[in-house]
Amino acid sequence: MRYLPLAFDIQDRLCLIVGGGSVATRKARLLVRGGARLRVISPATTDELEQLVADSNGQVFQGNYHSGHLDGVDLVVAATGDREINRIVSADARARHLPVNVVDAPDLCTYTFPAILERGPLSIGISSGGSAPVLARLIRAQLEALLSPGIASLAALAGRMRDRVKAVLPEERRKDFWQWVFTGPVASKVDAGKNAEAEAQLLTALDAWQGSPAPSGEVYLVGGGPGDPDLLTFRALRLMQQADVVLYDRLVSPEVLDLVRRDARRIYVGKKKEFHSVPQDNINQLLVDLAQQGKKVLRLKGGDPFIFGRGGEEIDKLADAGIPFQVVPGITAASGCASYAGIPLTHRDHAQSVRFVTGHLKKGTLELPWAEFVSPGQTLVFYMGLTGIDTICAKLKEHGMPEGTPAALVEKGTTREQRVVVGNLSTLPKLAKSEGVEAPALAIIGTVVSLHEKLRWYSSR
């Protein structure tokens, strides 16, 4: 590491900029935002640069640079576009032990400008040491997407409460308290724009932390999507990184699970055909028990937790127990798998409505309103439909759907193992067996399936 990342206080400090063009103006904007006073040396300057100097109560010298312009300054920027002048400025500044930046010349710099991500009092700098500034900016954009929209308000709240917390809690407890604030229900209220409620909850918790156990934990009910980790929401990813313990299902892909905080405890509670590793009532109670131990609990589900995910049952138990919780929707399997298979669920020429149906057999039968499903202009999506595909196709034909109606099975949709098997109501059950289709698989039935061959875009290879 050649450049040590440091935070430099430039409030009311005199900063010299040699140069008056667009590059110098960009640097001036940044320095003025930090509260600096500007001294600009250049034969000509932009109107914006002159205004920035005036706003900072600084000085503009119309003319050529000489070493006397360094008198009394704390920081130097050379942005003339003339390498020889920039070299001279750098040498003069180094001789006086002044930090100097020469734009696009890392070899002449003693410091570089990082790509800065700013949220209120919080600022993050990403530096490549001048070797790849565009890459640093791309990384900044990725980090911006990951930060909670309320992070600035949360940092401001912490600043207001810092001395109060310091006066109340001993040093060994402060770190745990702030971690709870930044990752628990206080942060959730700030994200929701409920700043007054967040501050009140922080103060209530502060009283509770004095000589007593930490407050109750929280549960994050998060939809992990159909498999591709790129389909996670930013909020889901943030909460996955905060959890102390994760309860996950069979439908959560290994790639998604890899994004959970590495030191989090992992508990598998998935269900398979005719085998439940953990009964649902036990899962509900486990969520309550772990949260009451002060844990941040991630309940990670494949797809969306409120679409055939039994998420409503789980948060109902949490609400009864007074456990704080958040729900983060995920891309449901129907949407994700259909999109990756090139099968639009609705289309003006084919389907004006779509219906999600559970294809899970109960006691060997599928008790469903089959007559309602046989309607033109409708797409049917059967979740967990592989086991009952024979029954599904037979019942639809029995109730009047043409046997030539296009139908598809999407196996392991959105993942690298995705496979799409296309047929119709008569051929799909046989194709499922001959092609060896395995769960998880989603059945899509309707004329939209006929668009698959033309619109397919995703190659699992």
CA distance 40 to 37: 10
Domain-located, residue 461: no
Within this chain, do residues 355 and 313 fall inside the same structural domain, yes or no? no
Determine whether the annotation assigns residue 233 to a binding site. Answer: no
Domain-located, residue 262: yes
CA distance 57 to 14: 10
Within this chain, do residues 196 and 256 fall inside the same structural domain, yes or no? no
Within this chain, do residues 324 and 361 fall inside the same structural domain, yes or no? no
What CATH code is carried by the domain that includes residue 394?
A: 3.30.950.10
Residue 91 carries which side chain, given as an amino acid letter?
Answer: A
Determine whether the annotation assigns residue 392 to a binding site. Answer: no
The alpha carbon dihedral of 273, 277, 281, 283 has a sign of: negative
Give yes or no for a contact between 422 and 449, defined as CB atoms under 8 angstroms apart: yes
Give the closest residue to 78 by CA, choosing from 26, 19, 32.
Answer: 19
This prediction's pTM: 0.67
Domain-located, residue 305: yes
Q: Which of 209-218, 334-343, 367-376 holds the top average pLDDT?
A: 334-343
Determine whether the annotation assigns residue 429 to a binding site. Answer: no
Range of the domain at 176: 151-209
Q: Which of 113, 137, 164 is the last residue of a domain?
A: 113
Within this chain, do residues 301 and 340 fall inside the same structural domain, yes or no? no
| Residue 4 vs residue 276, higher pLDDT | 4
Number of domains in the chain: 4
Within this chain, do residues 393 and 370 fall inside the same structural domain, yes or no? yes
Determine whether the annotation assigns residue 384 to a binding site. Answer: yes
Within this chain, do residues 96 and 159 fall inside the same structural domain, yes or no? no
CA distance 297 to 384: 27
Q: Which of 61, 85, 113 is the last residue of a domain?
A: 113
Q: What's the pLDDT tens digit per position in 68-125?
A: 999 999 999 999 989 999 999 999 999 999 999 999 898 999 998 888 888 877 888 8
Determine whether the annotation assigns residue 341 to a binding site. Answer: no
User: Is residue 249 annotated as a catalytic residue, yes or no?
Assistant: yes
What CATH code is carried by the domain that includes residue 70?
A: 3.40.50.720
Q: With 90 as the cut, is the pLDDT of residue 220 above it?
A: yes
Domain-located, residue 141: no
- What's the pLDDT score for residue 232? 94
Q: With 60 as the cut, is the pLDDT of residue 42 above it?
A: yes
Q: What's the pLDDT tens digit per position in 393-445?
A: 999 999 999 999 999 999 999 999 999 999 999 999 999 999 999 999 999 99
Which one of 191, 228, 244, 249 is the catalytic residue? 249
Question: What's the average model confidence in pLDDT over 10-21?
Answer: 96
Domain-located, residue 4: no
Within this chain, do residues 360 and 427 fall inside the same structural domain, yes or no? yes
User: Is residue 412 annotated as a catalytic residue, yes or no?
Assistant: no
CA distance 222 to 237: 9
Within this chain, do residues 168 and 280 fall inside the same structural domain, yes or no? no
What CATH code is carried by the domain that includes residue 300?
A: 3.40.1010.10
Q: What percent of the chain has pLDDT over 70?
A: 96
Within this chain, do residues 355 and 449 fall inside the same structural domain, yes or no? yes
